[in-house]
Structure 1
């Protein structure tokens, strides 16, 4: 599942890439600080493009919360929901049935721009993190859903069955985030989609030859190490890992 991401792009690059504007210029300095590793279970603030205002980048909290909660209930909900994955990911196959997702899928879809993300590879019981990014170093568009709690956006990243590349890497769960190309990014935020249109977009498989995937430091998984450092997205080769993309 996609529980770890990176976002190292300046807000101006995201604005240009997705033809949007930052909703409030006072937050530009905060979001211009590169985040080399964001652990979803810390529920970081990230930028999203919400369907309701698809021309803006708005701050959101990673981890979707039911829209009947108040802002004071967000943190307690996260503590309770950790056993269910903290609302960080949503299975795309369940978006029309799940009690949270079904209230968002028609009118509260979003794009989560990231510079990359991480998935674990299991080899002889040991987890090795792999970093995925665009080969041309462009921001990636992940499909998501969101709720609005008072003035707060809470969101989740949609996942799907793994393509062959992701099945090689994420070989225990065989899942991957839903990554969209330019056309599907635009369509995902449209207000005119019906259920079948949405299902068609969720079936889209991002071209594997556009992605770069490589192993990185196992510090990514260590709670004792500050992994939000530039080196965490650098390639690390393991002699005992008999695995190549």
Structure 2
């Protein structure tokens, strides 16, 4: 799965990449959130439900701040919404048209791009876990496929836009790194990004596009320190992405690209 990502760019870089303007305010759990200080993000943990700039199919000329963790429109209360969003951080692309939490968004074509400059996964050896940072050789800023929905709080009427990150079977590099789950985010090629955002896709088209995994030879990976899970040091800093070596990984060249 994918619960940790980065967007280590400034606002002009992001806007230029997507030819879209970042809105001055966006969604948050308690109201609008200004964009000042939003970027760069070196490490975001999905379980903190961060506001993230996404591009929707319906408004491709805007970067809008939506919260990570999709709340389906049928959630009955804020309590239900808070419980559901802990389970909708990722969605398996293969079942997005079947699962109740995602079905209406998928059928309505509520597709979005999740901008990223890299993501984090863990390699497991026995009881030990070793963190890795993965990015792309050919796209400094890339897109991960997502779905979004908009939920209205029945008590306040506030509209809360949220999204989920789609995953698929891992390519050989990510299967080696993320060996406990062998899943990876649905990273899009530039061609797939255009289709995901702009084309009128059938259900089959969507599933075919998302099962075409990003090639391993176009990805870069390196192990990093365990600062990313530190309880005492901040992890949203450039140092979190810095390479770090482990003796236990010395004989595993398949983890590095």
Give yes or no for TM over 0.5.
yes
- Correspondences of 1:2-21 after superposition (within 5 Å): 2-21=2-21
Q: CA deviation at 1:40?
A: 0.6
- The residue that corresponds to 1:31 in the other structure is 38
Q: What are the Cα deviations for residues 169-196 of structure 1, in whole angstroms up to 9, with x where unaligned? A: 0001000000001111111123511111
- The residue that corresponds to 2:30 in the other structure is none
- Correspondences of 1:147-158 after superposition (within 5 Å): 147-150=149-152, 151-158=159-166
Question: Which whole-Å CA distance do the structure 2 matches of 1:114 and 1:166 have between them?
Answer: 17
Contact 1:104 1:146 in 2 (8 A): yes
Match of 2:50 among 32, 39, 44: 44
Contact 1:144 1:156 in 2 (8 A): yes
Question: Which whole-Å CA distance do the structure 2 matches of 1:30 and 1:197 have between them?
Answer: 38
Q: Say which SS state the counterpart of residue 49 (structure 1) adopts.
A: strand
Contact 1:41 1:86 in 2 (8 A): no
List gaps (5 residues or longer) in structure 2: 26-32, 153-158
Question: Which whole-Å CA distance do the structure 2 matches of 1:45 and 1:180 have between them?
Answer: 21
Q: CA deviation at 1:152?
A: 2.5
1:95 aligns with 2:102: no
Q: Say which SS state the counterpart of residue 193 (structure 1) adopts.
A: coil
Which one is further off, 16-25 or 158-167? 16-25
Q: Say which SS state the counterpart of residue 97 (structure 2) adopts.
A: coil
- The residue that corresponds to 1:179 in the other structure is 187
- Flag the 1:191–1:69 CA change in 2: closer, same or farther, 3 A: farther
Question: Which whole-Å CA distance do the structure 2 matches of 1:206 and 1:111 have between them?
Answer: 15
Q: CA deviation at 1:206?
A: 1.2
Number of residue equivalences: 239
Contact 1:105 1:145 in 2 (8 A): yes
Q: CA deviation at 1:16?
A: 1.5
Match of 1:218 among 200, 207, 226: 226
Question: Which whole-Å CA distance do the structure 2 matches of 1:105 and 1:92 have between them?
Answer: 10
Question: Which whole-Å CA distance do the structure 2 matches of 1:49 and 1:91 have between them?
Answer: 20
1:59 aligns with 2:60: no
Q: What are the Cα deviations for residues 19-56 of structure 1, in whole angstroms up to 9, with x where unaligned? A: 22223379442323x21111111111111111111221
Q: What are the Cα deviations for residues 120-141 of structure 1, in whole angstroms up to 9, with x where unaligned? A: 1002321111101122561120
Which one is further off, 19-28 or 179-188? 19-28
Q: Say which SS state the counterpart of residue 247 (structure 2) adopts.
A: coil
Contact 2:171 2:215 in 1 (8 A): no
- Flag the 1:10–1:56 CA change in 2: closer, same or farther, 3 A: same
Q: What are the Cα deviations for residues 98-157 of structure 1, in whole angstroms up to 9, with x where unaligned? A: 002111113211110011110110023211111011225611200001111243220110
